Structure 1
């Protein structure tokens, strides 16, 4: 099944470790664990003596404005202890790129082989974790936004730069650019404003070995929006990582019935923006 033009994934080929990451690691063992669609890399650093929880370093080359690691650090620090998220240890940049260092958290990504083998359990836990995040974070005091208006502006910039159906998911490739863009001018009424994760795809939820929610990672787009902006994509991403038929488990875990109108709108917005 053709699931995505360019899904993030575990690197399948040797990765050159940036000098900044080697400097941060010192004597720690370095393992590349993730490459996102824009080329950003995540490395795990494990102490040579086996002591301590280990660290993760996210690194992005200079000239990748879509990834704002300073902004992600600010969001993580704002969340603080309200919800399980990484602890920021360092953030900085150089002439070559930028980095974000966090302490390793308990749990495994929901794309770990053990959860690929038990997708129904994982999908329900993803829904429960998303509900816990939405319920824990205060909308009124959140300084970050993930509004439809901002995201439509980003979609317009991408379309002006040549983005089109060849980059979209199969569900939208039969739409003409003008028709797809026009649909974004009629957003559904807000169901419930929450502080959204902003990238609630399957890999960004960590689960305990008993199948319960552990934590969220990759919070660079966290901000206030309708909860369906997260829900629609979290459920959709189960198709990309597990195959069809598990989206309903996300909604059930969250405790909500599917809303076809909002699901369709926020998936299209995700694709175009």
Structure 2
């Protein structure tokens, strides 16, 4: 399964909200997700800091207000973007954050040096899991909650198996839901990132992680909800064979059963 999101390959229409936020400052669209959401990089100018503006079409996920809430909480414990503005209009909603040091782990700089990038991803996720306090976290991302939503979507015919990974194409929706009903016992409860794919970690020039971004589904869950998807995304972005380096940097051994479970849960979403 290749990720549907990525840098746009052509010019994209600029929502009016981006023009209002950026004014006459240079900007470029750096990311487009599968639902039509856009992220713009607004350049630093004299007296104005560099910004990132996420925009989501009206009535389409992700919930940027939910992400803003999570960023405002998490920034007390770990490096994440500082929220500057949040708004909506008839066209969509937007979230403005200050830039953090570093570039995405899928920047050309790091695609050319996957060993360094993968180790930064592993150590960065471990530090996130260790830093965020489970007991005081107001957000949840547990398997039972996600499975309940999967069942609701399955009952209403809103799950499309053709979008699943080739790993899961042998299943139909009822079979997949049955497999997901057998939830593995939690290994270690942490505050999970919620979308730990490689693009959502920033890496500095020294090869160390500098921040995490895109925390719209951050919440308490078994750490394998993150680990399964983070390691899966290594294949999409760097090619096969990088899981050992990731787990070495994170500091644990692979767990095939939990990885299989949480990858299937991810495929059925959300």
Q: Residue 151 of structure 1: CA displacement?
A: 0.9
- Please list the CA deviations of residues 146-183 of structure 1 after superposition, one character each: whole Å capped at 9, or x if unmatched: 01122112222333334232110111111122211101
Match of 2:40 in 1: 43
TM-score, with normalisation over the residues of structure 1? 0.95
TM-score, with normalisation over the residues of structure 2? 0.96
The 1-side partners of 2:210 and 2:239 are apart by: 23
Match of 1:14 in 2: 11
The 2-side partners of 1:253 and 1:153 are apart by: 33
1:168 maps to which of 150, 153, 164: 164
2:147–2:180: 8 Å Cα contact kept in structure 1?
Answer: yes
Q: Residue 52 of structure 1: CA displacement?
A: 4.9
Q: Residue 9 of structure 1: CA displacement?
A: 0.3
2:159–2:173: 8 Å Cα contact kept in structure 1?
Answer: no
Structure 1, unpaired ranges of 5+: none
Match of 1:100 in 2: 95
Structure 2, unpaired ranges of 5+: none
The 2-side partners of 1:96 and 1:52 are apart by: 26
Q: What secondary structure sits across from 2:40 in the alignment?
A: strand
The 2-side partners of 1:139 and 1:48 are apart by: 39
4+ residue segments displaced more than 4 Å: none
- RMSD, aligned CA: 1.2
Q: Number of matched residues?
A: 268
Q: What secondary structure sits across from 2:127 in the alignment?
A: helix
The 2-side partners of 1:176 and 1:72 are apart by: 32
The 2-side partners of 1:179 and 1:74 are apart by: 36
Match of 2:53 in 1: 57
1:32 maps to which of 10, 14, 29: 29
Q: Residue 76 of structure 1: CA displacement?
A: 0.4
The 2-side partners of 1:8 and 1:158 are apart by: 22
2:57–2:93: 8 Å Cα contact kept in structure 1?
Answer: yes
2:146 maps to which of 132, 135, 151: 151
